[in-house]
Amino acid sequence: MQWQKLKPPEPDDPICCCECDLYQYGCCCDCEDLDEAFNRWLKVPSKSTFQSPVFGAMAENLEISLIPALLMLPLLLKVAALHYLLGITVLTALPGLVLWYYYATHRKKRRTLFFLTLALYSLAYMYYLFITEILPRGDVSQLQMCTVTSGMIFTIVSLIHTKKGPGFVTAALHNSHSQEDKKESTQVNNGSLQSAASPSGTPAELQTPKEGLGAKWSRCPLCKIMRPPRAGHCRTCGSCVQRLDHHCIWINSCVGQANHRSFLLTLSVFVLTSLYGISLVLCSLCPHQYLMTALFYCPGVYTQSSTALCFTCAWYSSIVAGGLLYLLVAQVLNISFNVTEREAQLALRNKTGQSRLWGLVVDTGEYSRGFYQNWVEFLTMTDASASPQSSLTDLV
């Protein structure tokens, strides 16, 4: 593959850093071909090894990265609760470690259960501390408790619905679309013949057929199948997705046409439940402080280990909720301008879009039909490939 300096790479072009002469660290490439070569070189076949289908399946699906998410998180939070300086250090380093692991896995283009496990375990651990430490203090009413519980359950149910699939592009999708185009063209031709026979007809309207979407379909260079407009190939999942927005590491799945609405609902419910739970915790720990200032100044909170741990977890939840709130705002703005995250990145790369609202959204102007029509299109879009394979829930 030849790299052209003046031409940006195609979005689905599997270019590697070692093939680009502009990349200054090309000698340190860790592309998949190089990794597979080292794996074959390091793998020594042995006939005496234990062979078992169950053991082999567990070895392939189990990730060592799940262990830090399950063991290190409570330990780090308890260490951060010992002193406020330790809390500042741990809560500052923890997002940095998560971001480092994200870039490490994102560069290798591989799926990982680390972030999904971290999100679910954090949600369960925060709820456990809320039940065991905050509820016995007597500052939370039954209605407030039911609200937090309902929000957590609704978040999990919405997440399961999001994991059903983003709407993968299949070969049958193009075949059904071609048949529909043939039927529409036949009806248009019949209507034009009837209008030509009757002088009272309006041939100008009937002879103007709807622009066939088949001309806008393109062939994926990796999947070798025809895909509809706005579809894209996800290198992490290895498949083309209808109206691909992005690959979300927190759900270990793509966000596409079939699950974009449920993804937005999951974000909204999680952020609202987190903010409400944080406010209840701060009101219980710092009853004499204002809600906005209690997170920064709460005297006497480090006198007991339980209150210090709850206060540290409130800070941890605030950091997570703040990051997801930014993602929620970005998603709402993209929907308002009818642009996906993938299209925004391509527009910035090709310099065909305009940054608006202080760089929070990129307006391509290609699919936008106004604020109201954009949201109507988003709320009414359906999965065109209603196949049994895409209807199965991928819990991991």
**Long-range Cβ contacts of 119-122 (<8 Å, 24+ apart):** 119/250, 121/69, 121/70, 121/73, 122/73, 122/316, 122/317, 122/320
Phi first, then psi: what are they for 384, rounded to 5°? -75, -20
Rounded Cα distance, 260 and 379, in Å? 9
The residues, ordered by sequence, that sit 6+ positions from 278 with a Cβ below 8 Å of its Cβ are 295, 314, 317, 318, 321
**CB-count exposure of residue 236 (10 Å: 0-12, 13-18, 19+):** middle
SS3 381: coil
Of 329, 334, 331, nearest to 367 by C-alpha is 334
Question: What type of residue sits at position 248?
Answer: C
CB 336 within 8 A of CB 152: no
Measured at the CA of 329, the angle between CA 76 and CA 254, to 5 degrees, comes to 75
Phi/psi region, residue 217 (left: phi>0; alpha: psi -120 to 50; beta: rest), is: beta
Residue 248 annotated among the catalytic residues of the structure: yes
According to the model, what pLDDT value does residue 337 have?
94
CA 353 to chain centre: 22
Phi first, then psi: what are they for 355, rounded to 5°? -80, 130
Residues of the chain with pLDDT under 70: 1-69, 106-109, 174-215, 383-396
Active-site hit among 234, 240, 248, 310:
248
The H or E element containing residue 321 is: helix 305-336
Rounded Cα distance, 300 and 188, in Å? 77
CB 227 within 8 A of CB 169: yes
Could you give the maximum distance between any two Cα atoms of the chain, in Å?
Answer: 92
Tell me the torsion sign for CA atoms 176, 177, 182, 186: positive
The reported pTM is 0.75
Render pLDDT for 280-328 as a digit per residue (tens, 0 to 9): 999 999 988 888 889 888 888 999 999 999 999 999 999 999 999 999 9
CB 385 within 8 A of CB 170: yes
